[in-house]
A and B are shown apart, each in its own frame.
Chain A
Amino acid sequence: MEEIIISTLQRTMIAGTPLLLATTGEIICERSGILNLGVEGVMAVGAVVAFMVTMTTGLPWLGVLAAVAAGMTLSVIHAVAAITLQANQVVSGLALTMLGLGLSGMLGKPYVGKPLTLKMNDVAIPYLSDLPYIGKILFFQSPFFYLAIFLALGAWFLLERTRLGIQIRSTGENPKATETQGVNVFLIRYLCVITGGGFSALAGAHLSTSYSKSWIEGMTAGRGWIAIALTIFALWNPGRAIWAAFLFGGIFVVQYLMQPLGISPNFLSMLPYIATLVILLLISLKDPKRLNAPAMLSAPYNRGER
């Protein structure tokens, strides 16, 4: 029994990692006022690039870096469309997802079914990993796990305790006012969108080099969309995102627990998506105002507007 609990929690941490990475990135992006629906596509590209580079070079860290670079580059498209060209952000993000999923499918075809021999090994933190119970759950994990938590906390610190954070949040609330204070709103938004893209790609890299160590089309399985929902669920706060992501990681894992009980696996697969809706519903019922995004989310900003 104890073993089951520990193993479940371990797997929860693993499952929540890509969610946390992608959610943190999307929080940064949305806080500056840009909605990026391309997370799913960028994540897929990150996964395939990480896999390809790791497989060909044998260096997992290089694969990760390449994935982040690819994700950032891809996000530039959405940034240009949404910020400079002031296009409809919903459609632009969707286009990015299509493009990303397509690119990853095309690039990944030759690699389907080939397992990674070199992979991201789990790292044990000395001393702490010997603690009973939590040692194995929290301190003997893939490096992505530690990275995700570090980045989420870092993002929180950036947004709440630095000057740049004030500028980012102000840009999302009122870009016109922020501009008059001498802040380059366009630059901030570009940085946030591109950073968000890097994070999403990082999440993808985790999926292909640490989580499953293989590549298959569709491996993101809607995690990108869930991350977008989690952004709302976390109320645009990276600290809360940590809880939110691992809660959902748990829901993903619970599927496997319940299978032996004879419940239809398809129903269990539905759980994360149903849970998303239920939780959003609960937040809304409890306090509808809390679903308020940064005030100017997804509204294009034209510098010359009178």
Chain B
Amino acid sequence: MKDICKSFHGIHANKDINLYVRSGEILGLLGENGAGKTTLMNILYGLYQPDSGRIEINGSPICISNPVESITHGIGMVHQHFMLIQNHSVLENIALGYKDTPFFFPKKKLRNRVEEFSKQFDFKMDLDQRVWQLSAGEQQRIEIIKALLNGADLLILDEPTSVLTPLEIKELISILRQMKAEGHMVIFISHKLDEIMDICDRVTVLQKGRVVGHADTADTSKKALARMMVGRDVVFNIDREKLEPGKKVLSVQEIHVTGDKGMPAVKGVSFELFENEIFGIAGVAGNGQRELAEAITGIRKIDSGSVHMNGKDITNKSPRHIYDNGVSHVPEERIRFGIAPGLFLYDNAILKQHHLKKFSKRYFLKYSQVKNHAKTIISDFKVATHSINNQIRNLSGGNIQKLILGREISEQPQLLVASHPTYGLDVGATQFLREHLLALRKQGSSVLLFSEDLEEIFELCDRVAVIFAGEFMGILKSDDERLADIGLMMAGSKGF
């Protein structure tokens, strides 16, 4: 790819990018969230058009205006968020993506071909299962099969390990090594230094839309790459002072919660939370964290078991009632659940708090109070916007998240349920947020932190539980050495 430039909304997503891949090679594409990696690969795959620059295969320039053309050129992509139709079966999804699917009776005719193919790579798969019933690793394998079936020489993987358990990651690596041995090319997008060093032969580093360096992984180090990625030495310097836990705040007993598809998502989880502590729940996304958080905050029904807050039963009470009892929530899908996009910033600043006395009197909202509150949040949490009269959807994702966090924290909750709060935030915002969580802890509140980022868990939490398939694999203090096996626990073996 030569001199690729691409802008969205006047912001350069990619500027003057040059990179190349050789056959039999795994190239890592490294960069922070928002550095432009996905945009660049989407250009290669034909989803976007570059504003300028060109793509060459074996020296001859080609034009890719849509995914069909890129597939014809032998390029396949496995996206970070799987491009699968959840309600359809595996076979139907493959039929959708395969370029030579027959017109009549596609499923019948494709079945044998797919089964043969899977045997070649040793994928075991039930072709008639609905995609939503499969694990993340299995879904990813469908994506890989689709790409290979179409004859991909170059396979692009966008943050492939973000939804996999450690075991599944190992399986993926062996698949990639097999492909490399067969002469395929792989572009491996990631922001995780360990993986890049482990898997890739060469690395191209992007920062804020530009290439800041190329390296051979054999000749470089994590620290050097990190410096290239961020532009400065990245050392998370957070002091977590040891605090004695106070009195019991939250008590969860044997709760069972059903997921969206009618299957049990949380199966008998119990734990307690105390003041002055951050309790972390580690685990790969999709193991019941979302349902657990929703159950505690009142958005989802608890089938059996109970939840008590300061001794009061809050099981299955309304979200507002639970909020009034001191439980705040930063949801997992922030944009989807946390804001009303078309409303103004100051409207969104009180989304959960609008019924409180300080913002409303009888039936009317006290707009002067609301606006002041919005201004406070914006300055305290450094939300970048030119006015509170802006429609909130015009803000960048990171700033929206800062507003939501500010909104929830500013009410000094007794318990803050934070679901993946730093996901998608840049380094500065992440640091800022973690400091705020620790500050909350110091003030006597407690935090229930759901996170996939093990570094974050170890840095912030006093105690850690690992969730797998809706159950806790173990609850350990942060200085317990058994935590070294956290990877095993995340993959399903019980910690103790």
Contact at A182–B66, with CB atoms within 8 Å? yes
Contact at A174–B86, with CB atoms within 8 Å? yes
Contact at A177–B71, with CB atoms within 8 Å? no
A162 to B92, CA, bound (A): 11
A167, A173, A174, A304: most-surrounded residue (chain B CB, <10 A): A174
With contact pairs A173-B85, A181-B67 given, residues A163 and B79 touching in the complex (Cβ less than 8 Å): no
Contact at B96–A306, with CB atoms within 8 Å? no
A95 to B8, CA, bound (A): 34
The stretch of B98-106, B459-467, B471-479 that contacts the partner chain:
B98-106
Asked whether A179 is an interface residue with its Cβ less than 8 Å from the other chain, the reply is yes
Asked whether B84 is an interface residue with its Cβ less than 8 Å from the other chain, the reply is yes
Question: Which of the residues B47, B86, B106 comes within 8 Å of A173, measured between beta carbons?
Answer: B86
A170 to B45, CA, bound (A): 20
Question: Which of the residues A162, A167, A178, A180 comes within 8 Å of B104, measured between beta carbons?
Answer: A162
Residues in B whose Cβ lies below 8 Å from that of A295: 86-87
B65 CB to nearest chain A CB (Å): 11
Interface residues of B in 60-107 (CB under 8 A from A): 66-68, 71, 77, 79, 82-88, 92, 95-97, 99, 101-107
Contact at A176–B83, with CB atoms within 8 Å? yes
Using an 8 Å CB-CB cutoff, how does the interface string of B356-385 with A read, 1 for contact, 0 for none? 000000000000000000000000000000
Contact at A182–B95, with CB atoms within 8 Å? no
A181 to B47, CA, bound (A): 10
Contact at B102–A173, with CB atoms within 8 Å? no
Residues in B whose Cβ lies below 8 Å from that of A183: 96
A162, A170, A182, A289: most-surrounded residue (chain B CB, <10 A): A182
Contact at A177–B83, with CB atoms within 8 Å? yes
A161 to B107, CA, bound (A): 8
Contact at A163–B67, with CB atoms within 8 Å? no
Residues in B whose Cβ lies below 8 Å from that of A306: 8, 39
Residues in B whose Cβ lies below 8 Å from that of A173: 85-88
Contact at A182–B83, with CB atoms within 8 Å? no
A167 to B48, CA, bound (A): 21
Contact at B96–A166, with CB atoms within 8 Å? yes
Contact at A180–B102, with CB atoms within 8 Å? no
Asked whether A119 is an interface residue with its Cβ less than 8 Å from the other chain, the reply is no
With contact pairs A166-B106, A295-B87 given, residues A180 and B47 touching in the complex (Cβ less than 8 Å): yes
Contact at A180–B106, with CB atoms within 8 Å? no
B342 CB to nearest chain A CB (Å): 13
Contact at B68–A182, with CB atoms within 8 Å? yes
Question: Which of the residues A167, A182, A184, A289 comes within 8 Å of B71, measured between beta carbons?
Answer: A182
B86 CB to nearest chain A CB (Å): 7
Asked whether A31 is an interface residue with its Cβ less than 8 Å from the other chain, the reply is no
Residues in B whose Cβ lies below 8 Å from that of A128: none
A289 to B85, CA, bound (A): 18
Residues in B whose Cβ lies below 8 Å from that of A169: 85, 88
A183 to B85, CA, bound (A): 13
Asked whether A164 is an interface residue with its Cβ less than 8 Å from the other chain, the reply is yes
Name the residue of chain B whose CB is nearest to the CB of A184: B66
B93 CB to nearest chain A CB (Å): 8
Contact at A179–B85, with CB atoms within 8 Å? no
Contact at B66–A177, with CB atoms within 8 Å? no
Question: Which of the residues A167, A181, A304 comes within 8 Å of B83, measured between beta carbons?
Answer: A181
Can you list 16 A-B pairs, Cβ within 8 angstroms, ordered by A? A161-B106, A162-B103, A163-B104, A166-B92, A166-B95, A166-B101, A170-B88, A174-B85, A177-B83, A178-B96, A179-B67, A181-B97, A181-B146, A182-B67, A184-B66, A306-B39
